[in-house]
Structure 1
C-alpha cells in the first residue's frame, strides 16, 4: 500500500529515477528491481559498460535506456540522463548509484521531503552514516574534505556532499552551464546550484558497503586531483565574484537602512562586530594587495565573524586611499627601523620610490594595520555596547 502511495506521488510530481551504470553486473539487477517496487518511471544510462550489463538490461526493455558507446564518466552519464528526462517532461530526477550501496527503499524519503517542502527549487542529497565500520576510511576522509570546501564556497554546512543518491530539479539545472564529466560533476552541480539560489539540503538514508559485490570506479589520484582543481577554481570565484555579488544584491534589495540594521549590525555580539571591523581594517591596510577580499571573507568565515562588516571595512584600501596608506606605512616603517628616506608623497606615487625599500614598507604596513585594527576595534566595541544598551532600554 505504501509503495503504491509513493508510486502515485512520483507520478504526480513528475519524478523519474535515473540510474547511471558502468560495469556493475553484480548489483545492477538488484538495484533496478528495487527501484521498480516504487515506480516504472526509470531511465538507465549504460555508460559504455564492457561486462554483461547490456545483457542484463535486455530483460528491462520496457524501461527507458540510453546506451553510450564509450565510457565518458559518471558526470557525462548524469548530464545525458538529465537532458533525456527533461525532454520526456519530467520535473525532477532521483539519481541512485548502481553499485548497491544505496537502498531503493529510501526513495519515499526523497519523495515525501519534496512533497512537504514549500520551496520546490531544491536539491536533496542522501546523507550516509559515514561513521559505521563498513565505510572505507578514504571515503570518510574524502567526504569530510568535500563538505569543508562546499561550506567555504557556499556558506552551507552539509553532512554529506558526495552521496550519489539525490533528487535534482531539472528545470533549474537546465539554466546552468556545466563543464565537468567525471565524478567531480556531483560537486560542480551542487555548488553552482547553490550559487544560483537553489536550496541544497541533506536527508538521512541508509548505506551498504559490501566489498564482495561493490565495484568502485573512483581513481584516487586522478579523480581527487580533478576535484581539488575544481575546488580551487570555485574558491577563487567565490571570493572574487560570488561573495561581493551577494553583498551588493542584499544591499540593493534591502536598501541602506534595513541593510545596515540586519547585515551590518545583525544579531552578532558587540565583541564579534568589533572583531569583524578590526579584521577588515587589518586586512585592508596589510600588504596583501590583490588578495584582500579573498582573505577577509575566508578569515571571517573561519572565525565566525560578520562577513559583511569585515568586507566593508577591508575596503579602506579603495583606490583613492591607497597612496595615503602606502605613504603612512612607509613612514611607520622608517620610524620603527630608525631610518629616514627622502622622497615626497608625489615621488612615491608617481615613481614608486617606496618599492626600493620594500622591507621598510612591509614592516610599516603590518605595524600600521595592527595599530589601526586595535584602535578601530576598541572604539567600535564601546560604541556597539552603548548602541545595544540604548536599543535594550528602548525595547524594554
Structure 2
C-alpha cells in the first residue's frame, strides 16, 4: 500500500468518525429541546445517557468524555429551566448521569488499552509467522509460482500445513506437508520440518535420501519431547518434488501425502502415479520410492494438502478438487489460486475445518537468457524476501 493510499484511508476513517459523532450530539440536542418544551411533569433528561453510551462504539476516550460532558451540560440546562438546579429530582438526575458518564469513559479507556495490546500481540504473531513461512518467489528459472494458505484458526496466517521452495544447481526442490494437528498449536512441528528441509535440501542429491533425513529429524524430535505412552503421536505427511530446469520431467517422493494434479492445456487433469511411503515420524528408516513423470512446458503442477480435498459443504460432501480445477487449466498460477480460494470457501460455507495450502508451479519454455533466474531466486529465499499470494 502506497503513502497516498494510506493517507486516503486515514482521511476516510477520520471523516467517518466525525460523521458518527453527529449522532450522539444530535441526540443530546433533540432530547434537550423536547424536554424544555414538554410539561414540567415530563422528564426526558435521563435519556441523555444514551449519547455517551453509544460513543465508545466508534470513538475513543476523548470523544466519549466530550459527549459525556455535553450530556451533563444539557441536563444542567434542563434543570435550570425546570424548577432550578437545586431540586432533589434534578440533583439526583445530574449525579446519576455524571456517574454513568464516568463509567462509560473508564470502559472506553480499558477497551482502547486492550485493543492496543491485542494489536501488538497480533503484529508479533504475524511477524513470527512470516519468519517461519518464507514468501515464495513469483518466478524461479522456467517456473512461475503462486501459493495459497487458508488457516483454520481465527487470527492465524499459518498452522499445521507448510510449504517451502529451495532453488539448487539446475533444479528446484519443493516441499509441501501437513503435520499432525491444526492451527497455532501445530506451528512448532511445522517449524521443525521446514528448518530440517531448508538445512538438508542442499546436502542430499537424491530425494529419497532427503526424505529419510527429514524422517530422522521428526523421529528424533518426537523421541526428545514425547513421553513413552505418546510414541507415534508426532508425524507429518510430506511431498518432496524436484523439477530439473532443463529436463521436462518431475521427480517426487511421497510420505503419506496426497498426490499432486497435473494440469495441461485444454482442461486436461491427470493424477501422477505415486508409491507413497509412511508419513514422516511413523516408521523411522522406511524406504522411500522415487517417482518420475513428464512435466512439459505449458503444464501446471498443483500441490495441495488434505485440508483442501477434505473440506465439506453443508451436505457433508468433500471438495472435488480435480473436477473444479479442470475449468482453469489454462489460467495463470495467480489466477488459478484466486479461483480456488473463492470456490473452496464458497463450497465450505466461508470457513474451513482444517488448514489448507496449495502451490501452483507452471512450467514455461526454457529461455537460455533466463537460466540465471535460479541463482537470483536462491539469493532471494536466502534473505527471506520474495512474494507469496497468501490468504488467512
TM-score (norm 2): 0.18
Normalized per residue, the structure richer in helix is 1
Quick check: which has more Rg, 1 or 2? 2
TM-score (norm 1): 0.18
- Structure of higher RCO (CA pairs closer than 8 Å, 6+ residues apart): 2
Normalized per residue, the structure richer in strand is 2
